[in-house]
Amino acid sequence: MDLHHLMLAPLRTAVSRVIGATPIGLIPVRVRQGPAKGARWTFGPFSAYWRLGGAEADVAAALARLPTIKGIAFWDIGAHYGIHTVGVAMQAGSSGHVAAFEPDPGAFARLSRHVTMNKLTNVKLFQAAVSETSGAITLYTPGRLGSANSHIRHNPQDDMSATPSVIVKTVALDELVASGQIRKPNIIKVDVQGHGHKALRGAARTIADSLPIIAFSNHSDMERDGTRALLEPLGYRPVNLSGEPIKWSAIKEALLLPLS
């Protein structure tokens, strides 16, 4: 990106936020490319990224490994505005099941709107952070509500006193499976800004039982190492999105696959 574009980026972000906070931001448009092609979406904020196929390719790579997408169960952990929730729900059909989890109130409101706009009846929404136990936790929102940068504290020693925050509900996925609220997954997407290992730890029994494909975005050494400690004993190995084996230490955006 050249200097001109770098200088304009903050202005574009500010304009997009302003538009997204007005009725203009709710004008329905169509997703043109990517996993949710053809879906109805909202005009702003930041919608061009998703509408034009800019969403992360990890879920598409995971879906490509299944013999069929119809009828699958998909967990979207860190669903944000719901591009993967909507896309997989459309492809999975009425016999499919999508469970989408998003703790940020601003992002959850837009996620809910997108699911409703597309009349998706095979989606179950949870306004909650996925963690190792059910309860409540502080969600920090340095980029304002609705930002993709909202996160749970990475390190207990981090000073977050000046960062805006909200208290959000947490859920442990093994408990939701045991109570029949969600189906065991074929694919799990995890993109939760450093809390992924704890999210997966709360689903350890279900993962060991069903051995799903996991599309994983890593944000810290602690998140990566905790995920490895949980999954490697179950026979999981990381590959890049082209399917080539990689080292755990190299994980940024990867698929975590159980040994067949």
pLDDT digits (tens, 9 = 90+) for 130-147: 999 999 999 999 988 998
How much is the pTM?
0.92
Q: How far is CA 23 from CA 15, 28, 116, 235, in A?
A: 14, 11, 17, 49
CATH code where residue 219 lies: 3.40.50.150
Q: Is there a domain that residue 20 lies in? A: no
Query: What is the extent of the structural domain holding 60?
Result: 56-258
19 occurs within a structural domain: no
Q: Answer whether residue 101 is part of any domain.
A: yes
Per the structure, the count of domains in the chain is 1
Q: What is the tens place of the pLDDT at every residue in 150-208?
A: 999 987 788 888 999 999 999 999 999 999 999 999 999 999 999 999 999 999 999 99
In a domain? residue 206: yes
**What does each C-alpha distance from 87 to 50, 58, 202, 248 come to in angstroms?**
11, 13, 25, 28
Q: Is residue 60 part of a domain?
A: yes
Q: Give the tokens for residue 181.
A: 């609220």
* Domain membership flag for residue 50: no
Mean pLDDT rounded to a whole number for the chain: 91
Instruction: Answer yes or no: is 33 within a domain.
Output: no
Residue 126 lies inside a defined structural domain of this protein: yes
